[in-house]
Structure 1
Amino acid sequence: MYNIIYIGYQFKVTPLQPGVEILIAELGYAGFESFVETEEGVTAYIQKEEWNGDILNDIQILNSDEFEISYTFDDIEQVNWNEEWEKNFSPIVVDDACSVRAPFHEKPETTYDIVIEPKMSFGTGHHETTHMMIQHILNNDFKDKSVLDMGCGTGVLAILAEMKGARPIDAVDFDNWCYVNSIENVERNNCEHITVIEGDASVLSNKKYDVIIANINRNILLKDMAVYAACLNKKGLLFLSGFYKEDIPMIQQACEKHMLKFQEKLERNNWVSLKFLN
């Protein structure tokens, strides 16, 4: 049997949030493929064959004056991801209406019950941005709407959109781990109207949607705003998240440049989510 050897980095982060979330995002871009949040920070894993001694050189948060981060690392053979998640993944309930849980959790009494096995993908519902996006979907009409879930992570937002009556739905993520995990979660929730696509905004050419959900980060949102605007049907809705309160003017200016009109703001622990109308 072939055993994959991973290198595990144990990071201690102060303050934990938003430090851990920023660190995970930067590590993901650097090639780390899996993460387990801990009481002190996060443990990040990368396959040894993908590792090099300069792997952390471009992790900007390590040089930030706003956070104190220390780490150790060692070789780890055969990581049992399911066991790691069972120890660390707890179910959530949003507005007493939507639950997001793993298969081993007891089924709650909510209108919408999403069962995911998140592995190491983003978007379990625990982070403020995913939580707010779930709130947006709960509070808006999705029946028979065509939907794009951009940066879908685990696919949880696309799954909820289908539960709310949306169809058809495209769930897009450039990360192969997220792509595979979203397919698994779509099947696990018996969804029939979701197409999972591996790629970035370049796959959206000639596509049109009634609703676009984009929970990514500020820089990617700004870079791809013209594409989202071009893909949005008249009277269509655009929901954005993945950025801080301080970023609102920049995001709003980019939206208004493409004639997208601000409708609503949700805020949670300095993270925000905005709704725009085409």
Structure 2
Amino acid sequence: MDYLEFKIKCLDEFREILIAELSMIGFDSFLETEEGIDAYALRSDFDQAEFDEVIAKYKDEAQVTLEEGILPKVNWNAEWEKNYDPIAVDDLVYVRASFHTPQPQYKHEIIINPKMSFGTGHHATTFQMLRHQGQIDHQGKRVLDVGSGTGILAVMAHLLGASSVEAFDIDDWCVENGNENFDLNVLETRMKLGTIREVNPSGEFDIILANINKNVLLDEMEIYAQLLKEDGDLLLSGFYTEDIEDLQTCAKPLGLDLVSSQSKDNWAALILKKTS
């Protein structure tokens, strides 16, 4: 069946936002390029009106331009192999696809066959979350990964010695892909489908990972605080540096104090600790 192909040029900081928006209207595959993203949808799943609405929403702010085409009989494995380069986060972890050569000089290695570009480590938010994970003791800890995407952060928690890892996402395609990546990395847990309220994780967690977006983080912050153990760590990303103050203002009254922050390409990441 033929795929519709859209080569979208945009500002770098809008790549992940556009991927998220388009994935909600029938697009099922994405490739990041030097100038933006290539987005693909089955002709039968494509809705022109919904697509036009998304593009119009970001056209000016993200400086969007696009080219449309038809791509028959896509060999996605070949496309990923051409466009997906491995990355290294310091000497902590080497993130690669199954067709890349292993690099044993790194402390850890994660195999991610992304299919969509959520959480491959290339985006600044995922990169910083992995780096922050390397600064937190996971040994024997109970970890919750909120909005897990490809499952890369859950896999990192497993490699760092977590005793149990729970993960979920609102997108059934991400759940399927995440579980495939769990199998590749010998992680026995299964990713669940739903929001944090729908999944309703029970008990307390030593570490909560949430790389989503500002609005979701603000909406769910109280739930994170309730699920986090005393002296537990909450790692957040998915928002801009100018949003840090808003996140802190929301977190502080809930007993969540800022421990560390970093930024990359104007994307921020925080470590918050639950205090009495």
Q: TM-score, normalised by structure 2?
A: 0.93
Task: Output aligned runs, 1:254-265, within 5 Å.
Answer: 254-265=250-261
Could you say which residue in structure 2 is the equivalent of 1:86? 81
Residue 239 of structure 1 pairs with residue 230 of structure 2: no
Q: In 2 relative to 1, CA 205–162 (structure 1 residues): closer, same or farther, beyond 3 Å?
A: closer
Q: For 1:97 and 1:276, locate their aligned partners in 2 and report how far apart those are by CA, in whole Å.
A: 21
Q: Does the CA contact (< 8 Å) of 2:16 and 2:118 recur in 1?
A: no
In the alignment, is the contact (CA less than 8 A) between 1:121 and 1:178 conserved in 2? no
| RMSD of aligned residue pairs (Cα, Å) | 1.7
- Confirm or deny: 8 A CA contact 1:6 1:46 kept in the other structure: yes
* Structure 2 letter corresponding to 1:27: L
Report the 3-state secondary structure (helix = DSSP H, G, I; strand = E; otherwise coil) of the residue aligned with 1:195: coil
Does the CA contact (< 8 Å) of 1:12 and 1:42 recur in 2? yes
Shift of 1:90: 0.5
Match of 1:130 among 123, 126, 129: 126
Alignment of 1:15-34 (within 5 A): 15=11, 17-34=12-29
- Following superposition, the deviation at residue 67 of structure 1 comes to 3.0
Q: Name the counterpart of 1:76.
A: 71
Q: Match of 1:195, as an amino acid?
A: R
The alpha-carbon distance between structure 1 residues 136 and 66, as it changes in their structure 2 partners (threshold 3 A), is same
Give the secondary structure class of the aligned counterpart of 2:128. Answer: helix
Partner in structure 2 of residue 252 of structure 1: 248
Report the counterpart of residue 160 of structure 1 in structure 2.
Answer: 156
Q: CA deviation at 1:121?
A: 4.5
Quote how far apart the aligned CAs of 1:62 are.
4.7
In structure 1, the residue matched to 2:36 is: 41
Q: Say if 2:213 and 2:239, in contact at 8 Å, map to a contact too.
A: yes
Q: Which residue of 2 aligns with 1:6?
A: 3
CA apart distance, 1:201: 1.1
* Whole-angstrom distance in 1 between the partners of 2:250 and 2:131: 24
Residue pair 2:25, 2:46 contacting (<8 A) in 1 also? no
Match in the other structure for 2:265: 269
2:138 paired with 1:148: no
Q: Deviations along 1:121-144, whole A, 9 cap, x unmatched?
A: 400001111111111111110001
Distance 2:124 2:102 in 1: 23
d(CA) in 2 for partners of 1:238 and 1:269?
22
Secondary structure of the 1:100 match is strand
2:3 counterpart letter in structure 1: Y
| Cα displacement string for residues 93-147 of structure 1 (whole angstroms, at most 9, x for unaligned residues) | 1111210001111111111011121111400001111111111111110001100
Q: Alpha-carbon deviation of 1:63? A: 4.3
Q: Distance in 2 between matches of 1:37 and 1:48?
A: 21
Residue 273 of structure 1 deviates from its aligned partner by: 0.4
- Check whether the contact 2:145–2:153 (CA below 8 A) recurs between aligned residues: yes
Equivalent-residue separation in structure 1 for 2:222 and 2:74 (angstroms): 41
Shift of residue 30, structure 1, vs aligned partner = 3.0
For residues 61-72 of structure 1, what are the structure 2 equivalents within 5 Å?
62-72=57-67
Give the C-alpha shift of residue 226 in structure 1: 1.6
Flag as ranges the 4+ runs of structure 1 deviating above 4 A.
Answer: 60-64
Aligned residues: 272
Q: Pick from 83, 99, 109: which aligns with 1:104?
A: 99
TM-score w.r.t. the length of structure 1 is 0.92
